[in-house]
Amino acid sequence: MNKIEKALMHGLFVHLHHNIDKVIDFKMFKQLNEQVAQVWPDALLVGPDANDDAAVFRMPGLDGLFVGKMESHCSPCVPRPYDAAATGAGGAMRDVVAMGGRPVFLLDFVGTRPVDQKVIVGPCGFNGECTCGNCQDMTSGERLNVIIKGVRDMCAEMDVFVIGGGFSSSFSDIVPAVVVSVIGKLVTEEPLTKPAKKAGDKIILIGRTNKDGNDTLYRAGLVDTLRPAEALFAEEKTAMEAVLAAFATGKIHACSDLGAAGIGAAVCESARFGGFGAKVDLTGVPVKEKDISAEEILICETQARYIVQVDAADADAVVAAVKKVTDNVTIIGEITDDDKEVFEYRGETVAVIPNQPSETQLAALK
C-alpha cells in the first residue's frame, strides 16, 4: 500500500465523513420513514439510509419530485469564513444537482460566540493567538456577517433564494456552526443515484481541478500546507449549467459531485456501491496549475466539478452537449467488471483501491 492509496483508503473506509453509518443508526430513520409512509405513501424516494448525495421526495398534491440536502462547513470558517461559507452553500447545491435537480431555495443556520467577543480569523484561528502575522482580529459579530456574505454571494451566483434560517450567539467553541440546507426541483425523469449502473459505462469529468481542498493529503502527510477549498462562484454556475446540459441529453446513468477526496472518492464510491470496479486515467484531467501532482489531481476537492456516467456509445454526444457550455470536460475512464478501482497517470499506476480491503489493510489505516 503506497502513501496515496493509504490516504484515499483512510478517507473512504475510516474517516467519518465517508462513514457516517458508523456513528449514526440509520435503521432508526428507515423505520420511522416506513411508519410515516403509511400516512404519505410514495412521498420519499431516496432517504438517508441510501447514502447518496441528497434526498429525493414528492410533495403530496404537487407534480414532480424535489431534492433536499443539508451540509455544514464549520471548521473551515475559522481560517477562511467567507470561502468556507460559500463552499458549504455551493457544495450542498452540487449535491442537489448530482441527483438530477436544480437548486432553488436555501436555509442557513449560524451559531457563534457572543457577538462582542474577539475571534482570530486566519491560519492561527484555532490557537487563540496569531504568530504568522497574516490573521485578522474581529468580533464574533463581524465574522458572522462575513459568513453570511459568503452564503449570500454563492446564492446570488447560482440564482438560489435564501428563504430563512436560524442564529444563536450562545456557542462557546472557537469553531462556529455554519449549516445550510438546499431544496431543488428534479429536472431529470428519474433521480440520478450515485451507484454505477453498468460495466463499460464511460466516466466523464466536468470542471477543472486545482491544488486546493487538499485536506485528505494533508492528514496523510503528503503535503506540508493545508489549502482549504476556494469558492469558485462563476465556475460553480458554469459547471451546474454544463451538467444540466448533460442531463438534457437523457443519457446519464449516474452522477456525483466531487466533494471530500475528490475524483478518487467519487469514482470509488460510485463503483463500489454499484458492485463494480473502475479504471481511470488522470492524464487528461483539466487542471488550473501545470505543476499539479497526480496525487493532487486524484484527491483534492476543488469545487465546481461533477462526474457523470454514460453508455460508451453515448459518451461523445454527452461531451458535445457539455462543450456548448464549457471546454472543461473529458472522458477519464470507465466502469469495469472488477472489485477494485485503478488510477493511472502518464502510463504509471498511481493507486489501486479495493472495494473490500483486507483486515490487514484496514489495520494499517488506523
For cell 463552499, name the residue: 87
Architecture of domain 53-186: 2-Layer Sandwich (3.30)
Amino acid at 59: M
What is the model's pLDDT at position 224? Answer: 85
Assigned CATH topology for domain 202-364:
Phosphoribosyl-aminoimidazole Synthetase; Chain A, domain 2 (3.90.650)
The domain segmentation of the chain, as residue ranges, is 53-186, 202-364
Whose CA is closest to 186, among 52, 58, 66?
66
CA pair distance 112, 189, nearest whole angstrom: 41
Helix (H, G, I), strand (E, B) or coil at 214: coil
Tell me the per-residue pLDDT of 257-308, one tens digit each, with 9 for 90 and over.
998 899 999 999 999 999 999 999 999 999 999 899 999 999 999 999 999 9
Mean pLDDT of the chain: 95
Predicted model pTM: 0.95
- H-helix or E-strand containing 217? helix 215-219
Tell me the per-residue pLDDT of 147-194, one tens digit each, with 9 for 90 and over.
999 999 999 999 999 999 999 999 999 999 999 999 999 999 999 999
Please, what's the largest Cα pairwise distance for the chain? 61
Task: Indicate the burial class of 122 (C-beta count within 10 angstroms; 0-12, 13-18, 19 or more).
Answer: middle
What is the model's pLDDT at position 225? Answer: 82
Tell me the per-residue pLDDT of 49-73, one tens digit each, with 9 for 90 and over.
888 999 999 999 999 999 999 999 9
CA pair distance 203, 332, nearest whole angstrom: 6
CB count in 10 Å sphere of residue 182? 29
What is the model's pLDDT at position 230? Answer: 93
CA pair distance 150, 86, nearest whole angstrom: 4
Tell me the per-residue pLDDT of 220-263, one tens digit each, with 9 for 90 and over.
888 888 888 999 999 999 999 999 999 999 999 999 999 889 99
CA pair distance 333, 340, nearest whole angstrom: 14
